[in-house]
Structures are given as C-alpha cells and as structure tokens.
Structure 1
C-alpha cells in the first residue's frame, strides 16, 4: 500500500527503479536482497526536477522541513591520501564540515567536492546525490538525529534518489543501517 507524505504518493522503490539513478537502483536492490524489509520500507516518488532543492520541495509538496535530509560530499587529504565522505544531516541543520567531518576524516582541512567531480564519481545528478549507491571507498556519515523522530516528520526521512526528478523516503533508523553507513553524534550544526 502506498504511503502519502505531504501531497505526494510514495511507492516501493524496488518496483520503480526507473526513478532512481543507476548506482542508487543497484544499491537499493542489493540491500533489499540481504535485508528483505528494505523492499517495503524504501519508497520513491516522482517530483518536478525544478523543485528538487529542499526549500522548494518542502513548500511545493507540503512537507515539513525536518523530514528532509541533505547529503553533501566532502574530501580532505592526510599524508598525500585523499579521504572522501558523504555527510547526511536533517535539512533543519547543516553538516559541521570544519569540525566534525574534518575530525572524522582525520584531515587538516575538509572541503566540499567540486560539483563536476561529485556528479562524475557518484553517477548521480547534482541536487539529487544520495548516500545510497556512492562509490566504494566513500565513507557515509549519518548524523544521529537522522535516525530519531523529528517534529512533524516522525521517523521518516526524505533523501535524494540520485536524480532530481524523484526522492526517496525511508525510516531514518533504516538509513542509519544502510551498508557502510556510520551513525555519528554531532555531525550537524543547528
């Protein structure tokens, strides 16, 4: 049975893989193969790609801001080795790149990945990049608040699908258990 959240109808992502970027579709199907609950709990909906940015989407589709989570890609170097991570935080805050992410990557300076590189390496569209399906070797840091209930959002979180024309909804607790995800206290700034 589909979920209604805001004024959108959400359907099982495994049944609508055409609404996911190729690496995201592969990650969701692979995850569902080892964790059967994923098939019923990872949902997708189609949206207007012009409304993919969080503020526009929440307003247009009558969604609470707290239900959305943003994923940013950051990198830093240590001893000539580059370290890349995705930082996932609720849209009511922002990733603490200068302190928490830098400390977790054990680098002197952490910076956002340039857009062209983020798109090329992830195989996803900018504005739709998601923690599901990122390249092997990227750390996936998920703020602990994503796995808790948020006012107006309950335990659900909306993330990118890898495409600007759709979004994924799933329980935040499930996202925190995604393959490779690391749950981190204090990853977000208010």
Structure 2
C-alpha cells in the first residue's frame, strides 16, 4: 500500500487517516472495494494548487490529475460534471464537456457553489465522494497515470492511487479527448 510514492510526499493508507480527508471522501473510501490501494499524504495547505504542490514536493507534472467542476443548464435543469484531466492538459469545457452535458453553454461552477454542493474545500475537490447527480467524466489519458495525485477534499493533504482506479470510481465515465 505505501509503495505508492511520488516526490517527497510521505503517504500512508488513506483509511487510517480520516483526519486528512473530507467527510464525503472518507465515507466513499470506507465503502469502496479499492480503498486498500489508496494512500493520503499531508501537505502544506499553501501548496495545495497543482504548480505549488509540484514545486514543493518534487512531483512530476504528469502525475497530477485535476478535478474541475463544470455546469450548464438545459430546460431549466442544472447539469454538473466533475471532469478529471491530467494536470498537463486542460478540460475542453467549451466543446467536449458542453457536448457531453448537452447544454448550450458550459462553465466552471463558482467557488461557493462547488464548495457548498461537494462538502469539500476549494482547491481540494476530488472525484471521490462527489454529490449524487454529478457526472464524473474521466479523460482516457488519466487511467494511464501510474500513480495519480488528486485532491483529498481538504487543502492539507493529497490522495495517491493508481490512475486506473479513477475509472473504477462510482459513476465514472471514461471519455476520449475530454482534455486538450
């Protein structure tokens, strides 16, 4: 389990450290068959953003996986998706995500809305423990990341897991060309 390593992070089994996970993240992990393959590592909350974390902990850029929350409306219904893309790419919000959500215009959820609906901290939102009703769109390139670094729901830690497991998260939809 702790064989998952990246840079200078000091990972430990995630379920052994609920204090380093947002409540919905811990609850989802506790019920997930793959939780034994998931680690968590404490970080400086000031280094929670991708570039800062990579620099502070010697993380290769292609190990980071960003979770961006996008929404749009159709027929009065709000449609929301968490999009997982490698940190060295960007989610194709204006074309691919808009098409998948079947909305006229897709945009990033406001910080307030994303935090309130997810129960997670801004800058730590993760695909583990997402609200019911949110889609989880996973760029196909993410599953090839040997050890993926994602948020933990809080800014003071990061989760490490094999990228292939991101496709196994509840409701995950693996999508070609979700990112550019």
TM class by shorter chain equals: over 0.9
What is the alpha-carbon distance in structure 2 between the residues aligned to residue 22 and residue 40 of structure 1?
18
Structure 2 match to 1:181: 172
Structure 2 match to 1:169: 160
What is the alpha-carbon distance in structure 2 between the residues aligned to residue 72 and residue 63 of structure 1?
20
Q: How does 1:102-117 map to 2 (within 5 A)?
A: 102-117=98-113
Q: Which runs of 5+ in 2 are unaligned?
A: none
What is the alpha-carbon distance in structure 2 between the residues aligned to residue 141 and residue 128 of structure 1?
17
How far residue 78 of structure 1 moved from its aligned partner, in angstroms, is: 1.0
TM-score (norm 2): 0.97
How far residue 70 of structure 1 moved from its aligned partner, in angstroms, is: 0.5
What is the alpha-carbon distance in structure 2 between the residues aligned to residue 24 and residue 84 of structure 1?
18
What is the alpha-carbon distance in structure 2 between the residues aligned to residue 8 and residue 79 of structure 1?
46
How far residue 2 of structure 1 moved from its aligned partner, in angstroms, is: 2.2
What is the alpha-carbon distance in structure 1 between the residues aligned to residue 149 and residue 6 of structure 2?
10
Structure 2 match to 1:19: 20
Number of aligned positions between the proteins? 179
Q: Which has the higher strand share?
A: 1
Structure 2 match to 1:120: 116
What is the alpha-carbon distance in structure 1 between the residues aligned to residue 140 and residue 147 of structure 2?
13
Structure 2 match to 1:152: none
Q: How does 1:8-157 map to 2 (within 5 A)?
A: 8-31=9-32, 35=33, 38-149=34-145, 155-157=146-148
Misfit runs of 4+, over 6 Å: none
How far residue 17 of structure 1 moved from its aligned partner, in angstroms, is: 1.3
Structure 2 residue 4 is the aligned partner of structure 1 residue 6: no
What is the alpha-carbon distance in structure 1 between the residues aligned to residue 96 and residue 30 of structure 2?
31
